[in-house]
Amino acid sequence: MNKQLVAIITASFFMLLILAGCQEQPPVEENPKTDMSQNGKQNELKPETKKPVNVVIKRTAARKWSEILASGHINAVKLDWKLESALPRAGSTGAYHTTLLQNFADTRGLKLKWHRVNNLADMFKKLSAFEVDIIPRHLTITTNRLDKYSFTYPLLRDKEVVIAKSGKQDFNEDDDNNISLPIGSAYIESVSKQYPHWQVNIIEEHVSSQEMADSVAAGLTKYTVIDGFALETLKQYRDDIQSVFTLPKAINLAWAVNLNNDTFLHELNEFISVHHVMQMIEPERTIDFKQLRKDKLPLRVITRNSPETYFLWRGELLGFEYELMRKFADIHKVKLVIVVADSYEEMLELLAEGKGDIIAAGLSRTKARTKQITKAKLTTSIRYNRVKEQLVAHQDSAQINELTDLKGRTITIRKSSSFWATAQRLAKDFGANIVLANEDIATEILIAQVADKEIDLTIADSNLIAIESSFRSQIITPLTFKEDVPYSYLVRQNNPQLLAYLNEFVRKYYRGTFYNVVKNKYFYNERLQKSHNKYRLVSGSILSPYDDIVRSHVQPYNFDWRLIVSQMYQESRFDPIASNSTGAFGLMQMLPRTAAELGVKDLKDPEQAIASGVQYLDWTRDRFSKDLPVQEQIFFSLASYNAGYGHVKDAQRLARQLGLRSDRWFNNVEKAMLLLQRRQYYNKARFGYVRGREPVNYVRDIHQRYLSYIRITD
């Protein structure tokens, strides 16, 4: 055991029921669920047995490397439908491990088959039962674990830290400190060995560092222990916790495989050794691109968390700037790390200080900015995009046909905006009134305020207007002030190699097939919710062409079939080949990745599409079943289906902070969801920016239609 330790130091969702016969069946809940009856009231429903499945033969030994090769795939485990535990703001351990293991599989010609569980303890159970080949995440190598598992070469050398609520804290290592730790965590062994006089309070739940930090911040727990790397991740978006003590003994974090699975372990270690993949919190650096690649360091891209650039939706990392930079990183075979900044000024500061390598944030190259960029010893790439600078108005407002029509009209805009100079000219030359917007209000929020008639006018670029127009049919652009406004990347002046490679990338891909596909995906994909009269309803009529299919699939989950039909109409207008810009497809607009993990092979098939949607909605409902009244579960489930579970949890936390009820959707959590569009709130949200208006309207529309369906079918 000790020899192995020395050698190492030196070198989900539990699957819901799938279409019959695909997976093991989860146990039926002992307590009956409650659902809405046909008159909209709650009905207590008896739990129903889900569809029978084939018996799975349990393995009695780990798969050796030869068996893995022969099968063509690696069985790996990760947590519950979450590609990310939070929006990656400066690297991400979740994305890091997923990408790294995928790289390993690619080099060996293998595919990855992901198994999902609810917590770390279940990961180890899967490994011990030989259901998976590997746990690819940062696991602390401890003496107790080495008795049961083998570990790869370390991927991170770290320290463990004691955290407490922010504020004045007097922590003395010699005191009999009370430390709360989740059951089964490696921290229990660390504390017991290094500080046996500390009192350890075991939390009888397998909870994450994020959840322990929540408990500390809420004052429910005084002290807990987490990894230093985890603390750095948490500090990227929260300021309610702090480190009060660092345990002196360093720890090594690595992947785990079954004990004595030496052939598989050898392949993994060889890959780790060759690729030098030790992860670390990077210091400031300003080296140029060739040295970066030689040292196998990540490319750090500075950007904004916004619908134009980089955001998280249903567990998928998306954004025009993000996809272009991911392509650039893939071409040059470097790891991509996203660094999120709160403002234009912060972006320049981060780049100048060596905390990032490129700014890719949809920045227009104006004369005023060029002077500021040069002064900061930065430089710009050639143009990689161009937009128009346009006026945004409500379609019902007084007509604006020429610049003189702006006299007496009010334009709301941020002073830091690149459109500020234009606004000043309109005020001086044409009598427009200028109102300063708060600096934390993003341009997309100003556009929304125009659509809602909260403000008169604003100015925005055509790309962002195109995004917002796909959700808001009320806005128009009566005037264009500038054509062909160039967007450029920014790098340091002492990085000419990186600048040259970026310019080469732009010349090769600008307006090419890849570029146009990505641009159309975000800025020109038509998503307007148009009314359809094809399925106009009268009392007693069929709700959809798929009523019978829906009825057959909702029974095991105790959903009212009319609710699912209402949701299906919202998602696809009953079009079995409907698609959207993010890749969601079919009647229930499932992402192909999600559908594949549910065992669904053909989203064009109505039966499979509906089955996958019902199963996924059931999963989202189960996430809330412990802390929400039954009558609210449906609303929170629908919001999660639309925007993602993480964004809804952020809205619940924000609702509590605002004194609203976190267990009520309407007029409570939905209000917080709307605020997560504003920088001052989403900067401190775990999952970052969300287009809050969309899930709010989504839930309201489905609910109202559902009530109509009840009246029609009664």
- In a domain, residue 321? The reply is yes
CA 679 to chain centre: 17
- pLDDT tens track for 321-371: 999 999 999 999 888 889 999 888 999 999 999 999 999 999 988 888 888
Rounded (10°) CA dihedral 354, 358, 362, 368: 60
CA distances 473 to 162, 450, 527, 691, 705, Å, are 51, 11, 10, 16, 21
Read off the pLDDT of each residue in 637-641 and give the average, rounded to a whole number: 95
Pair (698, 671) in one structural domain: yes
Indicate if 652 and 586 belong to the same structural domain. Answer: yes
- 645 burial (CB, 10 Å; 0-12 / 13-18 / 19+) is buried
20 pLDDT tier (thresholds 50, 70, 90): very low
Which of 195, 228, 253 is the endpoint of a domain?
253
Residue 52: pLDDT over 80? no
Using the 3D structure, point to which of 86, 118, 151 is the last residue of a domain.
151
Amino acid identity at 80: D
**Residue 557 and residue 705 in one domain:** yes
CATH of the domain at 638: 1.10.530.10
Residue 201's region, left for phi above 0, alpha for psi from -120 to 50, else beta, is beta
Cα separations in angstroms, 56 against 131, 133, 281, 705: 11, 17, 43, 42
The pair of three-digit structure tokens given for residue 258, joined into one six-digit string: 């079954």
Q: Are 384 and 510 in contact (CB under 8 A)?
A: yes
Within a 10 A sphere around the Cβ of 306, how many other Cβ atoms? Answer: 23
- For position 27, what pLDDT does the model report? 34
Question: Which tokens go with 618?
Answer: 């059931």
pLDDT (average), residues 49-74: 78
Confidence at residue 278, expressed as pLDDT on a 0 to 100 scale: 56
pLDDT at 511: 86
Give the number of other CB atoms < 10 A from CB of residue 374.
12
C-alpha to C-alpha distance for 640 and 649, rounded to whole angstroms: 9
Q: Residue 270 and residue 351: Cα distance in Å, rounded?
A: 35
- pLDDT for residue 55: 52
Whether 186 and 106 share a structural domain: no
- Say yes or no to pLDDT of 161 above 90: yes
Q: Structure tokens of 397?
A: 């407002």
Q: Report the percent of the chain where pLDDT is more than 70.
A: 87
d(CA 276, CA 81): 29
Does 171 lie in the same domain as 78? no
At a CB cut-off of 8 Å and minimum separation 6, what does 381 contact?
488, 489, 490, 491, 499, 502, 503, 506
Domain assignment present for residue 425? The answer is yes
> For residue 274, is it within any domain?
no
The count of residues in the chain is 714
Verify that 555 and 627 share a domain, yes or no.
yes
The span from the CA of 558 to the CA of 622, in Å, is 12
| Residues 454 and 577 reside in one and the same domain | no
The 8 Å CB, 24+ separation contacts for 436-442 are 436/412, 437/412, 437/413, 438/414, 439/343, 439/414, 439/415, 440/678, 440/679, 440/680, 441/414, 441/678, 441/679, 442/306, 442/677, 442/678, 442/679
Domain count, the chain: 5
Q: Identify the pLDDT of residue 181.
A: 95
Q: How far apart are CA 679 and CA 446, in angstroms?
A: 12
The CATH number for 316's domain is 3.40.190.10
Asked if residue 233 lies in contact with residue 88, where contact means CB atoms within 8 angstroms, the answer is no
Q: Is residue 70 part of a domain?
A: yes
Query: Residue 144, Cβ neighbours under 10 Å: how many?
Result: 10
pLDDT digits (tens, 9 = 90+) for 226-272: 999 889 888 888 889 999 999 999 999 999 999 989 999 999 999 98
7 occurs within a structural domain: no
User: If you search the block for the tokens 């104006």, which residue do you land on?
Assistant: 366
Runs of H (alpha helix) within 319-456: 320-331, 344-352, 367-375, 420-430, 443-451
Boundary (domain end) residue, out of 205, 237, 253: 253
282 within a domain of the structure (yes/no):
no
Quick check: is 561 in a domain? yes
Residue of 2 and 504 predicted with greater confidence: 504
Q: Are 245 and 187 in contact (CB under 8 A)?
A: no
In a shared domain, residues 684 and 554: yes
Name the residue type at position 559. Answer: F
**For residue 5, which amino acid is it?**
L
Examine the pLDDT at 206 and tell me if it is beyond 90: no
User: Residue 448: which domain range?
Assistant: 387-485
Q: Is residue 20 part of a domain?
A: no
Joined tokens for residue 658: 């605002």
- Between vectors from CA 155 to CA 151 and to CA 157, what angle results, nearest 5°? 105
Would you name the residues annotated as active-site residues? Answer: 571
Q: Where are the alpha helices (DSSP H) in 471-511?
A: 496-509
Q: Tell whether 315 and 455 lie within a shared domain.
A: no
Tens of pLDDT, residue by residue over 124-139, are 999 999 999 999 998 9
- pLDDT of 23 over the 50 cut: no
Give the mean pLDDT of 373-396.
94
Shared domain for 601 and 707, answered yes or no, is yes
pLDDT over 80 (residue 600): yes
Say if residue 582 is in the same domain as residue 691: yes
Looking at the fold, whether 550 and 589 belong to one and the same domain comes out as yes
